[in-house]
Amino acid sequence: MCGIVGYIGKKQAAPILLDGLSKLEYRGYDSAGMAVYDGKQIHMSKATGRLKVLSEITHEGATLPGFVGIGHTRWATHGAPTDSNAHPHFNETETIAVVHNGIIENYLKLKKKLIERGYEFHSETDTEVLAHLLDLYYKGDPLQAITKVMHRVEGSYALGIIFADHPDVIYAVRKDSPLIVGKSEEGNLIASDVPAVLKYTRDVYFIENEEIARLSEQDIEFFNVDGEPVEKEAKRIEWDIHAAEKGGYEHFMLKEMNEQPKTVRDTINPRIKDGQIVIEELGMSDEEIRAIRKIHIVACGSAYHTGFTAKYVLEGLARVPVEVDLASEFRYRNPILEEGELVIIISQSGETADSLAALRMAKERGCQTLGIVNVVGSSIAREADQVMYTWAGPEIAVATTKAYSAQLVAQYLLAIKFAQVRGEIGETQVAELLRDLKKLPDQIEMLLSHKERIQKYANRYLASKDVFFIGRGIDYAISMEGSLKLKEISYIHSEAYAAGELKHGTISLIEEGTPVIAVATQDDLFKKTLSNIVEVQTRGAFVMAVTNAGNTEIEKTAEYVIYIPQTNPYFTNSLAIIPLQLFSYYVAVGKGCDVDKPRNLAKSVTVE
Ligand code: G6P
């Protein structure tokens, strides 16, 4: 996600901004920019691509002289990665410059109103509305203008703002996106994350939600959303730079697992408006949705597992036939693809070679294509007819967690939308499904908070050689992902089996102490899976189970039981996967594995 840096002090600002932005590169970005006040006016430089390009075009900051400035690395969400969409953004008179991290959910409405008032827009970003809105409300008092803007905008934001009329201060504002203030002898700083300021100071203030900071060279003041002063104390940062980049977490994977409530919320919330699902980017009319005769979901790795789950949801709710394929198989199996069929390609990176090839093949054969992609502007995002973004932000750990969760909920939204348009479900059922969907982020948060217990269980498995995951229906899909997570980061051999299929061969491998992880979240299949659990347990298996709260009967057979809160049966993957991710993580940590960079694996597989 975007990175923000700001500086006001005794030194030249631009080199400090470039240095700070370089410490935020890990967040992922596709363009960068800076705005610096030179004593008379604000000057700006922006460049698509790496920070090196911005550094070169500004001669390492020398072409932007001045002691006050803001800088930004942009991870594109609204609008492609281009110079004009890069931040900072100006108001019309170039007297207010803004950098932003987050998403302004009501930006279209605000943009329309601003255009009606004569404001001209020069980018496709949601951020530019902030610059013009500040301009609209600015009557000489920046703080007043900022609080008015905060009352108008919905969504998440961390902002750095400079006003040419008030060149002795920088403003920083925060709601649901990170922002900190660093206090140093040589001047004060703002940043999205601690590493950007650690070279200058270890004394840091954490801005809370809906708070504003005003920094001058000497002072730092804080205000609430009503402009009233707030007292804050600086905290001394003791972490080393490497740890701080992970926001204090030991591994990126742990950090990203903990980001899942936000990721799921960010993928769902902007697409539910007045109780209805609005997927603007789908670009399909209701008639076209009704005309879909078949859906093909094609992906690799964990993305494939989300598609495997979505098959149950789409077929169950929308009653449309769904085929799910591994992209590497699909592209060579000469699939039957006909007009009226929709091909959905799911990919975090948007660059996976097999998925991209499958997309191209589907297009050649005249199918309508939809990409569910995380990286904006990636190949699959560019080439698919339509693209639905999962707003998970950059994922660094090779083993995916938050992008997986976002892909799941994106497909739940599609399934509900298709089911409603095709007349398979009515208003009441839509309302019930949306109610459960909206509860997922808090429920995920609750499951994440039980990590100590999962860690205790995980320690029991450090010497395991083989682990079997079993489940039926959606629980089989969950088992596939749970098994993949375990093998990819802990190097323990594991297999996922459809529980009913065990007795056709695999049960011969069960002996005294064999670890079996059973997933039983589907009420209509619970009794069946329970029988399979008893079958393996009587042959000596050591069973851990993941099931719904209330299914205490399972405790008679399983040694460890993890309960997930009640949700719609179609959504249980989003909850049951959380303890399984934590489990794999703690097994890998316990074994001393390189969790974030497992051997032989790559985050983005751009070769066949
Ligand atoms: C790699 C990653 C997996 C990912 C798969 C598909 O194997 O390690 O985490 O699920 O590629 O990647 P994509 O970017 O297309 O989702």
Q: Which of 294, 591, 597, 603 is catalytic?
A: 603
CA angle 398–401–405, rounded 5-degree value: 145
Provide the CB-side half-sphere exposure for 549 (13 A, CA): 8
Per-residue pLDDT at 33 exceeds 80: yes
Q: Looking at residues 17-32, what average pLDDT do you find?
A: 89
199 Cβ closer than 6 Å to some ligand 1 atom: no
Confidence of residue 49 (pLDDT cuts 50, 70, 90): very high
Give the residue whose CA is nearest to atom 8 of ligand 1: 603
- pLDDT for 302 equals 98
136-148 pLDDT, tens digit each = 999 999 999 999 9
253 lines ligand 1 (CB under 6 A): no
Please provide residue 90's backbone torsions phi and psi, each rounded to the nearest 5 degrees. -100, 155
Q: Is the CB of 379 under 6 A from ligand 1?
A: no
What totals of helices (H) and strands (E) does the chain contain, helices first? 19, 27
- What is the amino acid identity at position 137? Y
- CA-nearest residue for atom 2, ligand 1, is 603
Six-digit token pair at 176?
């649901």
Q: What backbone torsions phi and psi does residue 230 show, to the nearest 5 degrees?
A: -125, 140
Residue-level pLDDT at 367: 94
Average pLDDT over the chain reads 94
Ligand 1 lined by 349 (C-beta under 6 Å): yes
- Tell me the CA–centroid distance for residue 352 and ligand 1, in Å: 7
Place of tokens 């051999």: 493
pLDDT of residue 243: 66
- At 417, phi and psi to the nearest 5? -60, -50
C-beta of 557 in contact with ligand 1 (< 6 A):
no
Residue 300 annotated in active site? no
Task: Count CB-CB contacts under 10 A for residue 18.
Answer: 21
Q: Structural domains in the chain?
A: 3-245 (3.60.20.10), 274-442 (3.40.50.10490), 451-591 (3.40.50.10490)
Q: What pLDDT is stored for residue 478 in this prediction?
A: 98
What's the token pair of residue 108? 């279209």
Confidence check: pLDDT of 521 > 80: yes
Check if 400 has its Cβ closer than 6 Å to any atom of ligand 1. yes
> Which is the closest atom of ligand 1 to the Cα of 304?
10
- CA-based nearest residue to 71, from 52, 48, 88: 88
Residue 340 has pLDDT above 70, yes or no: yes
Asked if 9 contacts 184 with a C-beta cutoff of 8 angstroms, the reply is yes
With a pLDDT cut of 70, the percent of the chain lying above it is 98
Question: Ligand 1: does its nearest atom lie under 6 Å from the Cβ of 604?
Answer: yes
Confidence of residue 1 (pLDDT cuts 50, 70, 90): low
Cis peptide before 88 (omega within 30 of 0): yes
Q: Which stretch of 234-238, 294-298, 538-542 has the lowest confidence by average pLDDT?
A: 234-238
Q: Whose CA is nearest to atom 15 of ligand 1?
A: 347
Q: What is the pLDDT of residue 97?
A: 98
Asked if the model's pLDDT at residue 539 lies above 80, the reply is yes
Closest atom of ligand 1 to 301 CA is 10
Give the Cβ contact number of residue 122 at 10 Å: 12
Residues in the chain: 608
The per-residue pLDDT for 2 is 86
Q: How far is the CA of 20 from the centre of ligand 1 (A)?
A: 30
CB of 328 closer than 6 A to ligand 1?
A: no
Q: DSSP per residue over 231-243, as a string?
A: ----EE--S-HHH
- Global pTM exceeds 0.85: no
pLDDT of residue 27: 74
**The pLDDT value given to residue 313:** 98
Decide if 603 is catalytic: yes
Kind and range of the H or E run holding 298: strand 294-299
Q: Ligand 1 mean position to 59 CA, how many Å? A: 38
pLDDT at residue 185, as a whole number:
92
pLDDT tens, position by position, 389-434: 998 888 889 999 999 999 999 999 999 999 999 999 999 999 999 9
Mean pLDDT of 32-61: 96
- Residue 302 CA: nearest ligand 1 atom is 10
Q: What separation in angstroms does the CA of 479 have from each of 423, 449, 538, 556?
A: 32, 22, 21, 21
What distance in angstroms lies between residue 407's CA and the mean position of ligand 1's atoms? 12
What would the pLDDT profile of 433-458 be if each residue is shown by its tens digit?
999 999 999 999 999 999 999 999 99
Q: Worst-scoring range by mean pLDDT, 65-69, 278-282, 299-303?
A: 278-282
pLDDT digits (tens, 9 = 90+) for 488-516: 999 999 999 999 999 898 899 999 999 99
Query: Tell me: the pLDDT tens digits for 85-106?
Result: 999 999 999 999 999 998 899 9
**pLDDT value for 177:** 82
* Ligand 1 site, residue 302, Cβ cutoff 6 A: yes
Ligand 1 atom nearest 380 alpha carbon: 15
Please, are residues 407 and 300 in contact by the beta-carbon 8 Å criterion?
no
